[in-house]
Amino acid sequence: MEIIRRCSSFLFGMECLGCGSVSERLDPWLCPACREELSRESLDYSFPGPDAMCLFPMRPLTRRLVHALKYGGLSGMASYLVKRSSAVGSGGVAQSMALFAKPFYFVPVPLHSSRYRERGYNQAQRIAAALCSCTGGRMCNWLKRRDFRVSQTKLSREERKWNVAGAFEANLPRKLPARGTVFVVDDVYTTGATTSSCISAFGRDFPLDTKVCTLLYDEPVTAVMDFVADCKIEWDTAYGG
């Protein structure tokens, strides 16, 4: 019976991407409980640097959703997450963006051609397009990747810097806009090495203000440990553990 249930869930798309439970109330990817959790996570946006903003923390739910965006072929997940983030409406990130000069230019971190062939799309472009739709900005492919570098996911902070140093170059139009703000867009902000390399590629004389906007912030280990400890305290208090 379990095999039949799993096959039915797969065929008819009834399994929540967040918790894996079967539900007929998906939207189309999350059940009501996971939607509420995602709404709470959207309040935990962060500014890991003076010019960087991240829409969600890296938590089990958001990690699974971004994994589905990058590796599961669910390109629509970019728009799904952005629309449910603090970058829209009166959210905290939207309020911060309102202080910057308009128009906004969203520049996705370019994906190497081999990665593009694997996935069929650049997830950073999909995120940038969603941000444009929500803010009235414009997506600009003002960067290109010079060569292939190994994945950043298993590298130390120092190794990440060396891995992406010089990996990007500017692909600017002949005439740049006279004013506005450029946002370099990526899926995850960890050390800032990738986005810093992108901004450096624009050159010291780049006339526009530059910022960084990503879906997730991969928090330091200490912050994650504190979050787990807080959750345990809340659980013990509620259930007498």
Domains defined along the chain, listed by start: 10-42 (no CATH), 44-239 (3.40.50)
Longest dimension (CA), the chain: 66
| pLDDT reported for residue 2 | 43
**Side chain identity, residue 174:** R
What angle in degrees, to the nearest 10, is found between the helix axes of 60-71 and 123-135? 110
| pLDDT reported for residue 167 | 83
Q: Helical H runs in the chain?
A: 2-12, 32-42, 60-71, 77-83, 92-97, 113-119, 123-135, 157-164, 193-201, 221-239
| pLDDT reported for residue 115 | 86
33, 225, 238 from 234: Cα distances, Å: 18, 14, 6
| Low pLDDT (below 70) residues in the chain | 1-13, 147-165, 220-241
Residue 148's contacts (CB-CB under 8 Å, 6 or more residues apart) are 112, 114
Q: Is 110 exposed, middle or buried (0-12, 13-18, 19+ CB in 10 A)?
A: buried
| pLDDT reported for residue 9 | 46
| pLDDT reported for residue 231 | 54
| pLDDT reported for residue 162 | 46
pLDDT tens, residue by residue, 68-84: 999 999 999 999 999 99
Are the beta carbons of 23 and 36 closer than 8 angstroms?
no
- CA separation for the pair 106, 142 (Å, rounded): 9
Is 129 strand, coil or helix? helix
